[in-house]
Structure 1
Amino acid sequence: MTTGVLPQGDVALLQSDIAQELLHKDIPARMAYTASDGTPRVLPINHWWTGTELVMATFTGAAKVRALRRSPAVAITIDTDDAPPHVLLLRGDAVVTDVDGIADEYELTMRRGMPAADADAYFDRLRADGATMHRIAVRPTWVGVLDFETRFPGAAPSTITGSD
Structure 2
Amino acid sequence: MTTTTQGDTALLDTDLARDLLASTEPARLALTAADGTPRVMPMWFLWTGDELVLATFAGTAKVSALRARPDVAVTIDRIGPPPDVLLLRGRVELTEVDGVLPEYAQMQVRYLGPESAAAARAEIDVPGVRMVRIGLRPTWVGALDFRTRFPAGFAERGR
* TM tier, smaller: over 0.9
Percent identity of paired positions between Structure 1 and Structure 2: 50
* TM-score, length of structure 2 as denominator length: 0.94
Q: Identify the residue that residue 123 of structure 1 maps to in structure 2.
A: 121
Q: What does residue range 97-108 of structure 1 map to in structure 2 within 5 Å? A: 97-108=95-106
Q: Which letter maps to 1:84? A: P
- C-alpha separation between the residues in 2 aligned to 1:123 and 1:12? 35
Q: Identify the residue that residue 153 of structure 1 maps to in structure 2.
A: 151
Query: Paired residue for 1:110, among 100, 108, 111?
Result: 108
Equivalent residue pairs, number? 159
- C-alpha separation between the residues in 2 aligned to 1:27 and 1:41? 19
Tell me how large the CA RMSD over aligned residues is.
Answer: 1.5
- C-alpha separation between the residues in 1 aligned to 2:151 and 2:111? 31
CA drift of 1:61 comes to 1.6
Q: Which runs of 4+ in 1 moved over 4 A?
A: none
Query: Paired residue for 2:38, among 40, 56, 64?
Result: 40
Structure 1 residue runs of 5 or longer lacking an equivalent are none
Assess, with a 3 A threshold, how the Cα gap between structure 1 residues 64 and 132 changes in structure 2: closer, same or farther. Answer: same
* TM-score, length of structure 1 as denominator length: 0.91
Q: Identify the residue that residue 83 of structure 1 maps to in structure 2.
A: 81
Question: Which secondary structure state, in structure 1, belongs to the residue aligned with residue 67 of structure 2?
Answer: helix
Question: Which secondary structure state, in structure 1, belongs to the residue aligned with residue 112 of structure 2?
Answer: coil
Query: Paired residue for 2:17, among 4, 16, 19?
Result: 19
Q: Which letter maps to 1:117? A: E
Q: Identify the residue that residue 67 of structure 1 maps to in structure 2.
A: 65
- C-alpha separation between the residues in 1 aligned to 2:13 and 2:4? 11
Structure 2 residue runs of 5 or longer lacking an equivalent are none
CA drift of 1:161 comes to 8.7
Tell me if the contact between 1:152 and 1:161 (Cα under 8 Å) persists in the aligned partners: no
Query: Paired residue for 1:52, among 27, 40, 50?
Result: 50
CA drift of 1:114 comes to 1.9
